Amino acid sequence: MSIENVISRAIVRNFADKLENALRLDVAIVGGGPSALVAARDLSKAGLQVAIFERKLAPGGGTWGGGMLFNEVVVQQDALAILDDFGIGYRPIEDSPGYYTLDSVEMASGLIFGAVRSGAKIFNAVSVEDLVFKNGKINGLVINWTPVERLGMHVDPLTVIAEAVLDGTGHPSELMHLACDKAGIKLSTPTGKILGEKPMWVDSGEASTVENTREYYPGLFACGMSANNVNGGYRMGPIFGGMLMSGRKVAGLIAGKFQK
């Protein structure tokens, strides 16, 4: 067999295996931002079968760009244990005890590597376009290639079945919108709907990101900025401790459901 065929066959076979194994999951995660990557690692380490579906070619979400494309981000003391778990470095900020800065490229790549190394599968360039919703229960996700979505091609999707789905789509809370708008789901918020993100207030936003991280309908969880948008929290700019801690919290909540 020619080397050209060897390469192509290996890729086709291994990708097909990977995708086939992800058609039934314990946890299907939408979006590969920092909160979702932490959740994916923790859930995989807890022995659950997990995959992330990420619209862009590069997972990592809003991590890469730091603050206004200055590729540094800030984390607070409470999140350092998570960075340590991933082997990601940081430096204290002079005169500001409890706050640290780190290279956003190291953070993005470290989180991705940690999630994949723990056993989570990441399907990049894949967009989640719908939920599987049967008899009032969320059963999984509807996926398609991002280029198909972007080019507006009329191509039917595939489906992934999962016990739990996690909205890690960041500011737009895409999965939660689908749940409300298409499935008619009432979320466990004061109005049953998405409350919407508030303007910048760093400390409040950091705290509420973690507080708002939870299950909003049986089997439907939100983390990171998505959770904050769903439950009306403030934004916080390029500080990422809340995102990391949100990922850890949601993994604990989801893993707890599987233990029951």
**Out of 29, 36, 164, 165, which residue is the one contacting ligand 48H (CB under 6 A)?**
36
In this structure, the strands spanning 121-124 and 72-76 are: unpaired
**Out of 27, 28, 29, 33, which residue is the one contacting ligand 48H (CB under 6 A)?**
33
Residue in the block written with tokens 């936003």? 205
Nearest approach, Cβ of residue 20 and ligand 48H (Å): 20
Measured over the CA atoms of residue 250, residue 17, residue 131 and residue 233, the dihedral's sign is: positive
Rounded-to-10 torsion of CA 139, 141, 142, 148: 180
Assess contact for 61 and 32: CB atoms under 8 A: yes
| 30 lies in the binding site for ligand 48H (CB under 6 A) | yes
Assess contact for 23 and 16: CB atoms under 8 A: no
| 128 lies in the binding site for ligand 48H (CB under 6 A) | yes
| 226 lies in the binding site for ligand 48H (CB under 6 A) | yes
Closest to ligand 48H by CB, 201 vs 258, is 201
Label residue 190 exposed, middle or buried (CB < 10 Å: 0-12, 13-18, 19+).
Answer: exposed
Task: Give the C-alpha separation, 33 to 154, whole Å.
Answer: 28
Binding mask 72-111 for ligand 48H (x = CB under 6 A): ----------------------------------------
**Out of 66, 110, 114, 170, which residue is the one contacting ligand 48H (CB under 6 A)?**
170
| 165 lies in the binding site for ligand 48H (CB under 6 A) | no
Binders of ligand 48H in range 171-190 (CB under 6 A): 171, 174
Residues at the site binding ligand 48H, with contacts judged by CB under 6 A: 30-36, 53-56, 61-63, 127-128, 168-171, 174, 224-226, 235-237, 240, 243
